[in-house]
Amino acid sequence: MQIRQFVPADLPTLKRMTIEAFDGVSIDQGIEQVHGEINGHDWQWRKARHLDDDLRRDPRGIFVLAGDSNEPLGYVSTWCDRDAGIGNCSITPRSARGPAALVAGVD
């Protein structure tokens, strides 16, 4: 495994990871459960767009944990909403080392 710079071909996979990681804990998902879809879009569509926003703000600020075949296993966005104290980080459940590999680095 290695940590590498984001490339545009990663985007669909990272969006899928984001949706999987936030299923059951997304604020937008909770709102949708009470009020239904908003403006014709579900919570997954809105959550995946956060990556688009991060890329617009800092295109070189997303780093990918890649497996032996260079496939994305997780990612971190270095952009952070300092006022809200949040950013984006997702790890696929397929990663044998789990979140610790991205947080601690890869040996």
User: What pLDDT was estimated at residue 3?
Assistant: 93
Contact 74, 95 (CB under 8 A): yes
Residue 58: pLDDT band (50, 70, 90) is confident
User: What pLDDT was estimated at residue 5?
Assistant: 95
Q: For residue 62, what are its two tokens?
A: 């997303």
Q: Tokens 């270095």 label which residue? A: 78
User: What pLDDT was estimated at residue 64?
Assistant: 94
Please state the separation of Cα 91 from the chain's center in Å.
8
Question: Is residue 62 classed as helix, strand or coil in its secondary structure?
Answer: strand
User: What pLDDT was estimated at residue 84?
Assistant: 77
**Full residue range of the structural domain in which residue 48 is found:** 2-104
Return the amino acid letter for 34: V
User: What pLDDT was estimated at residue 99?
Assistant: 46
Number of domains making up the chain: 1
pLDDT in tens, 25-40: 889 999 999 999 999 9
What CATH number does the domain containing 22 carry?
Answer: 3.40.630.30
User: What pLDDT was estimated at residue 31?
Assistant: 93
pLDDT in tens, 59-106: 898 999 999 999 999 888 887 777 877 666 666 655 545 444 444 444
